[in-house]
Homo-oligomer: A and B are copies of this chain.
Amino acid sequence: MKAIRNQYLFAIALLAAMVFTSTLARAADPLPSWNDGPAKQSIVTFVEKVTTPGSPDFVPVPERIATFDNDGTLWSEKPLPVQVYFALDRVKTLAPQHPEWKTKEPFASILKGDPKGLMAGGERGLVEMIMATHTGNTTVEFEQIVKDWIATAKHPKTGKLYTEMVYQPMLEVLAYLRANGFKTFIVSGGGIEFMRPWAEQVYGIPPEQVVGSSVKTKFELRDGTPVLVRLPELNFNDDKGGKPVGINEHIGRRPVMAFGNSDGDLQMLQWTAAGTGARFALYVHHDDAAREYVYDREDALARLNKGLDEAAAKCWTVVSMKNDWKTIFPVEKK
Report the minimum CB–CB distance from A107 to chain B (whole Å). Answer: 28
Residue of B nearest to A13 (CB): B7
A200 at the interface (CB under 8 A from B): yes
Fill in one digit per residue for A289-324: 1 if any B CB lies within 8 Å of its CB, else 0. 000000000000000000000000000000000000
A147 interface residue per 8 A CB criterion = no
Q: Are B244 and A219 in contact (CB under 8 A)?
A: yes
* B192 with A252: CB separation less than 8 A: yes
Q: Is the CB of A217 within 8 A of B192?
A: no
Q: Which of B2, B6, B218 contacts A241 (CB 8 A)?
A: B218
For the complex formed, measure the closest distance between the CB of A240 and the CB atoms of chain B, giving whole angstroms. 8
A274 touches B225 (CB 8 A): yes
Q: A210-242 CB contact bits vs B (8 Å, 1 = yes)? A: 100010011101000110100000010000111
What is the size category of the interface that chain A forms with chain B?
35 or more
**Which residues in window 239-253 of A have CB below 8 A to B?**
240-242, 244-245, 248-253
Tell me if A148 is interfacial: C-beta within 8 Å of chain B: no
Q: Does A183 contact B (CB under 8 A)?
A: yes
- A258-275 residues with Cβ-Cβ distance < 8 A to B are 267, 270-271, 274
Contact A62–B245 (Cβ < 8 Å)? no
A196 touches B (CB below 8 Å): yes
Number of copies: 2
Q: Do B196 and A217 touch across chains, with their CB atoms under 8 A apart?
A: no
Of B183, B209, B219, B252, the contact of A267 (CB 8 Å cutoff): B219
Q: A206 an interface residue at 8 Å Cβ cutoff?
A: yes
Partner of A6 from the list B3, B139, B221, B250 (CB cut-off 8 Å) is B3
Contacts of A206 in B (CB 8 A): 62, 252-253
User: Distance (Å) between the CB of A268 and the closest chain B CB?
Assistant: 10
The docked-state distance in angstroms from the alpha carbon of A226 to that of B272 is: 9
> How many angstroms from the CA of A9 to the CA of B4 in the assembled complex?
11
How long is the Cα–Cα vector from A12 to B218 in the complex, in angstroms?
58
Contact present for A208 and B3 (CB under 8 Å) = no
Whether A252 and B196, one on each chain, are in contact in the complex, defined by CB atoms closer than 8 angstroms, is yes
| Contact call B252/A228, Cβ cutoff below 8 A | no
A10 in the interface, Cβ–Cβ < 8 Å? yes
- Chain B residues with Cβ below 8 Å from A200 are 62
Let me know if A228 and B251 touch, CB within 8 A. Answer: no
Interface centre among A3, A207, A225, A249 (most CB of B within 10 A): A249
Would you give 15 A-B contacts (Cβ < 8 Å), ordered by A?
A10-B11, A192-B249, A193-B252, A206-B252, A207-B251, A207-B253, A208-B252, A208-B253, A210-B252, A218-B245, A219-B240, A226-B244, A226-B271, A226-B274, A228-B245
Among all A-B residue pairs, the 4 with the closest Cβ atoms: A207-B252, A219-B241, A6-B6, A208-B251
